[in-house]
Structure 1
Amino acid sequence: MNTYLYSENKQIKASYQMKYVKKLAYLALVVCIVACNQTPEITQKIVLPPFFSSNMVLQQKSSVPLFGEATPNVELQITSSWDEKAYMVKTNAEGDFSVDLQTPAYGGPYQITIEQNKEIYTLDNVLIGEVWLCSGQSNMEMPLAGWGKIQNYEEEIANANYPKIRLLQATHQYADTPQDTIQIDGNGWKVCSPENIPEFSSTAYFFARKVYETTQIPVGLIHSSWGGTVAEAWTSADALRNLHDFDKEIEALTASEEEKLAIEKANQLKLDQWNAEVLKADKGMDMGHAIWSHDPPKTGWKPMELPNYWDVTPLPDLDGSVWFQKEIKLTAEQVANTATLHFFADDEDMTWVNGTKVGETVGYNVARAYEIPANTFQKGNNRITIRVFDGASGGGIYGSENQLYLTTGTDTISLAGNWQYQVGVDLKEVAPRPYIPGPPNQPTILYNAMIHPLLKIPFRGVIWYQGESNASRAAQYNKLFPTLIEDWRAQFSNGEMPFYFVQLAAYMQRKETPQASEWAELREAQLNALKLPNTGMAVAIDIGNADDIHPKNKQEVGARLARIALNKVYGERIPFSGPLYRSFEKKDNSIVISFDHANGLQTKDNTPLKGFAIAGEDQKFYWATAVIEGNQVRVSSPKVPNPVAVRYGWDANPDVNLYNEAALPASPFRTDDWPGITGSK
């Protein structure tokens, strides 16, 4: 063979062989890449509900379910450092897992680890202690700082160094059906500190502080409340169906989207028609035009100090609209700047400057900050007009003096002080507002979103502060509130779960003569709830505020709740209740009242007893003379020679002073069962 040809053939063959080898290597690489992307499966991160986080508290001496999601069909090892026990659990096809951790007596800090495919998820700084659920409306929600600003709030915040008290804050949410997940503020549990406490529930914090200082047991607080809400919103649909008071509203929640839209349109039409009637009846409006904003009447205006609720003194029973006006004088430099008007209104407002509308807001807890273009004000005298509409309870321009002001350029002008007011419309003059509950006050929607997701968590008990929003239906609350308590116990599978609550504090203008009262009837419904076992009531009748539905002394509220828990749960031999009405007996021309928790009956400052009224068969009540006789009180009046009934503290804001030796106040009560004013609502 020709050497050249052989050599050439050999090179060609070698070249083909090299290309073949490279092709095989490339195919192998592709196969490897594909195979590597297919197996093994990508590890899914471990996801836990937000109430399982570092810094959490688990209920002591309990079986606590720890659950979440991970990679499907893998084995996890979960280890608790308090007993060094390793729990082996396999996820299901969806990746769900759950294991029951057995907790010891209180202690810590501890650690929980979850190992998956050699990856470790760790929960640090875990305490074992007592976990309390804290719920209700705004007086439970009221923070130490923020909109609350309790008494001595700056000092309280600075001293809130309690590393063994932990805080978990649920965010506002609602749902038509029961949910499995809950939204949490921040990144889970927080350690109680001056940095973390300002926006947390003040009542819950002072409750925990008292419990911890007495027992030294770590306390975990899960706070899930919403201001201005009604009790039925916090109750399950199944429980409410037994009452039959909310059947139509519950059915609407499960209607089809088309049916819901039709219901919403029909309800909105009813509401629009009613609002139109209210505006038509408002003396400050004419055919939808705000005539009082630019052409106010010459007479009829009266002075009122603002900020203030109009219920306090001048308009104690008014629901409707009130127009406020104030004259202010500004310089040429001030009117040349864009200005901002700041205030709070309960519930709705329309606002004008010199007849020009500058803002309109719905919502009692929404800060108003209306921007006013330059030259809307004029040099010299100017008029600010605010129409406030309130549908129930306290209304007005409220807050502290430094929350009612005008800014223009670098100037801040206080608007606190004397304003002129005039009533636009009293709702007694128009047809009742259609009952159209909307979020968050629809039946069961808060239970679905803010309580149902917590049902697997073991709690020591519940503290509850709510009732103001149900006061107009106090007779119904006699059934509704016990239903809520028993419902929660059933849903949490804890029929003996302690449930401690706060009776409504004093509020609104004090009446000069004994009268019917929605708030008194609501307090009676709360008192009646004590018939359920494992309940307790903190009386707050003496620490209210006529001017503020949110009294600032939350320290005492929390301490009184804690007294109940310390006695009933933790075995502390301390008094936990003021005098509670037990029975009465007629003796000659007087009535003698017997009480429970009556050791050492006394009055504050040794002044004569106040707050007792007495009536004969005509059901007309008169202020009475009341005298302490041992552990009883004798009540009489020369105006009622043949008495049959006594009432104590029967007012929204009664003047009362009966205590026991533990300086705990007596609950308002009545001995009669005569029909009240809320029975038909």
Structure 2
Amino acid sequence: MRKDFTAYNIVNQLNLSTATASFFLACLLILSFRLSAQDGYRLRQRRDTLILPRLIRDSMVLQRDTRISIWGWAPKGQTVRIKFNNHRYRTTAATDGKWSIQLQPTPPAAPSPWRSKARPRIVLHDILAGDVWLCSGQSNMVHQMALHSVRYASEVSQADNPQIRQFWVPNEPSLKGPAADLSSGYWKSADRQNIGEFSAVAWFFAREIYRQQHIPIGIINASVGGSPIEAWISEEALKAFPNFDSIIKRNNESAYTKRAAPLTRISRPSPPDAGLSGPHPRYDTAYTPVGWRIIGIPGYWEDQGVNGLDGVVWYRREIDIPARMLQSAARVFLGRIVDADQLYVNGRLVGNTTYMYPQRRYSIPPGLLHAGKNLFVIRVTNNSGKGGFVPDKPYCLFAGDDTVDLKGYWQYKVGQVFSPRKFPGTTVNSTSTNPGFSPQNQPAALFNGMLAPIIPYTVKGFLWYQGESNTGHAAQYARLQPAMIADWRQKWHEGALPFLFVQLPGFGDYHYTPTESQWAELREAQARSLSVPNTAMAVAIDLGEWNDIHPDRKKKWAHAWRSQH
């Protein structure tokens, strides 16, 4: 029998008031040692310092109603004293310098204040007690509110909830075993200044829980675009998968990683871009176009008579702007472009994007446009596959209540042809679809660098959105995801913590006759994880976009869990 849970079934339904605390740690020593995240557990001497992990800091959210794990580093054998919420604790640093304490469950009332008389001391302020969720996966979990600010303009402009907070884990893969700490990171509140940095999926999920329960919500976001699931599983758990275990052993060899590292920067000897040479570059208003051809926007140039070209193509068109549009701020929407682009208006660069996925939305500086004809030039760089402008996206210039359609015929001319690319470092037996050696895609690399340092920070559960990088390996994924769930639960030692995940949305061309689909197979593999207790899946196939692997409608993911009840 299929088990469907909603987010509200899984989280505690108690309606608790906010618990705010000040948190103090004291070490009765003059000397302390600081842990270097790069050097693992090797300690270096530093005066007057007691070290906490990056995650335990001002403005953090602690998990309510359960014992709270706190840890850090000090010289071995030294005593660490803590007072928190009218309770006193003490422990001794182990031989490797690490110490840990479990604090008593935090009640729903605000803890009483406390001052430490010991020196030196660390004082942490503005701490909340609520529910903490670890959010992980690949780019759809990464995608921040700033990238969806047009659709969710009101949510961005009205964001002002200091009781929803996010800690963004930096992208730090490790091929040398579990890291001890993160190099950076801060807890930030969901206000207008910071909301653009929040994961859209995680933010809407947190907001739904907050509206239902009125308790603080902490989001720990550890996500990396393009990452495969095997990168998020520990080395111990991957021993059950011999191909990945052999890769981990190979990556642990310094000689191999030194040889492989340059493969992440594959060079492509090519002639220079002709569009940037000569007396005037092609974006200059003084440039005279000669030998340009006609092409349509949107569309890929491989579908319009330009076959097998990886390189740079220049587009140009004169756009008529009515005088009334000059009275308002103007923006240009250029849909999505494969892969990179630079937009010039009247000879001036007004925007650029370096990779294919973001929506192109550029603001035009005041005074740059004029009534009548304005020169628009777009330099498009394509590295592989079809290059050009993704269909069925908005292509327009708008100011005030007026809009100028930018779709239609443009002139084009090739500026640069790249030499064929070779990938001698393709990872053996990896399910990643990315060619070349990429540290972030290696088995256990992201677990080691991004999850290990935050264990055992007490959490309510896990939120997972991933799978795109593992299409084509559905049978293996059906084993990997349950293995990862068991792995994370075992590492946190909190029992069967809730595990919520998004099933892949719809993507790609529609087919009206039966056909094989790697995405459909992956969805089925994901659904099999529902046999694992205390899991829930958001069915999101109807929320996808055929031409965009990053659907814009992020709010409905949070609703999807609730709708399955």
Q: Indicate whether the TM-score tops 0.5.
A: yes
- Amino acid paired to 2:143: M
| Count of aligned positions | 467
What CA distance in whole angstroms lies between the structure 1 residues aligned with 2:374 and 2:202?
Answer: 50
SS in 2 for 1:58: strand
Bigger RCO (CA 8 Å, 6+ sep): 2
Q: Is 1:44 the equivalent of 2:37?
A: no
Unaligned runs of 5+ in 1: 1-38, 277-286, 331-340, 370-378, 406-412, 564-574, 578-681
- CA gap of 1:526–1:259, structure 2 versus 1, over 3 A, is closer
What CA distance in whole angstroms lies between the structure 2 residues aligned with 1:559 and 1:491?
Answer: 29
What CA distance in whole angstroms lies between the structure 1 residues aligned with 2:313 and 2:502?
Answer: 35
SS in 2 for 1:245: helix
SS in 2 for 1:50: coil
SS in 1 for 2:547: coil
Q: Sequence identity, in percent?
A: 31
Q: Is 1:259 the equivalent of 2:256?
A: yes
Residue 323 of structure 1 and its aligned partner are, at CA, apart by 6.7
Equivalent residue for 2:172?
A: 173
What CA distance in whole angstroms lies between the structure 2 residues aligned with 1:170 and 1:533?
Answer: 28
**Counterpart selection for 1:327 from 316, 326, 337:** 316
Question: TM-score if structure 2 supplies the norm length?
Answer: 0.68
Residue 179 of structure 1 and its aligned partner are, at CA, apart by 0.7
Equivalent residue for 2:296?
A: 303
Q: Is contact 1:73–1:92 with CA below 8 Å preserved after alignment?
A: yes
SS in 1 for 2:242: coil
Q: Is contact 2:163–2:217 with CA below 8 Å preserved after alignment?
A: yes
Equivalent residue for 2:380?
A: 386
Greater Rg by CA? 1
SS in 2 for 1:198: helix
Q: Equivalent residues in 2 for 1:507-526 (5 A)?
A: 507-526=507-526
Deviation digits for residues 224-262 of structure 1 (CA, Å, limit 9, x no counterpart):
111222111112222223122334432222103x33334
Q: Equivalent residues in 2 for 1:605-624 (5 A)?
A: none
SS in 1 for 2:536: strand
Residue 528 of structure 1 and its aligned partner are, at CA, apart by 1.8
Q: Is contact 1:108–1:127 with CA below 8 Å preserved after alignment?
A: no
More deviation in 465-474 or 118-127? 118-127
Residue 138 of structure 1 and its aligned partner are, at CA, apart by 1.3
Deviation digits for residues 15-49 of structure 1 (CA, Å, limit 9, x no counterpart):
xxxxxxxxxxxxxxxxxxxxxxxx97686223211
Equivalent residue for 1:144?
A: 145
Residue 290 of structure 1 and its aligned partner are, at CA, apart by 7.9
SS in 2 for 1:54: coil
Equivalent residue for 2:232?
A: 234
What CA distance in whole angstroms lies between the structure 2 residues aligned with 1:122 and 1:40?
Answer: 17
What CA distance in whole angstroms lies between the structure 1 residues aligned with 2:497 and 2:30?
Answer: 47
Equivalent residue for 1:6?
A: none
Residue 69 of structure 1 and its aligned partner are, at CA, apart by 3.2
Equivalent residue for 1:373?
A: none
**Counterpart selection for 1:194 from 188, 192, 195:** 192
Q: Is contact 1:113–1:121 with CA below 8 Å preserved after alignment?
A: no
- Amino acid paired to 2:317: I
Q: Is contact 2:296–2:407 with CA below 8 Å preserved after alignment?
A: no
Equivalent residue for 2:440?
A: 440
- CA gap of 1:380–1:57, structure 2 versus 1, over 3 A, is closer
- Amino acid paired to 2:221: H
Equivalent residue for 2:39?
A: none
Q: Equivalent residues in 2 for 1:285-296 (5 A)?
A: none
Equivalent residue for 1:217?
A: 215
SS in 2 for 1:542: helix
Q: Is contact 1:234–1:445 with CA below 8 Å preserved after alignment?
A: yes
What CA distance in whole angstroms lies between the structure 1 residues aligned with 2:227 and 2:238?
Answer: 16
Equivalent residue for 2:12?
A: none
Superposition RMSD in Å: 4.7
- Amino acid paired to 2:249: E
SS in 2 for 1:133: strand
Deviation digits for residues 586-619 of structure 1 (CA, Å, limit 9, x no counterpart):
xxxxxxxxxxxxxxxxxxxxxxxxxxxxxxxxxx
Residue 132 of structure 1 and its aligned partner are, at CA, apart by 0.7
- Amino acid paired to 2:439: P
- CA gap of 1:430–1:228, structure 2 versus 1, over 3 A, is closer
Q: Is contact 1:55–1:126 with CA below 8 Å preserved after alignment?
A: yes
- CA gap of 1:290–1:517, structure 2 versus 1, over 3 A, is farther
- CA gap of 1:459–1:403, structure 2 versus 1, over 3 A, is farther
What CA distance in whole angstroms lies between the structure 2 residues aligned with 1:442 and 1:130?
Answer: 31
Equivalent residue for 1:163?
A: 162
Q: Is contact 1:113–1:120 with CA below 8 Å preserved after alignment?
A: no
What CA distance in whole angstroms lies between the structure 2 residues aligned with 1:465 and 1:173?
Answer: 19
What CA distance in whole angstroms lies between the structure 2 residues aligned with 1:302 and 1:443?
Answer: 44
Q: Is contact 2:333–2:395 with CA below 8 Å preserved after alignment?
A: no
- Amino acid paired to 2:315: K
Q: Equivalent residues in 2 for 1:458-537 (5 A)?
A: 458-537=458-537
Q: Is contact 2:339–2:387 with CA below 8 Å preserved after alignment?
A: no
Residue 419 of structure 1 and its aligned partner are, at CA, apart by 4.4
SS in 2 for 1:551: coil
SS in 1 for 2:57: coil
- Amino acid paired to 2:131: E
**Counterpart selection for 1:86 from 85, 88, 95:** 88
Residue 417 of structure 1 and its aligned partner are, at CA, apart by 5.5
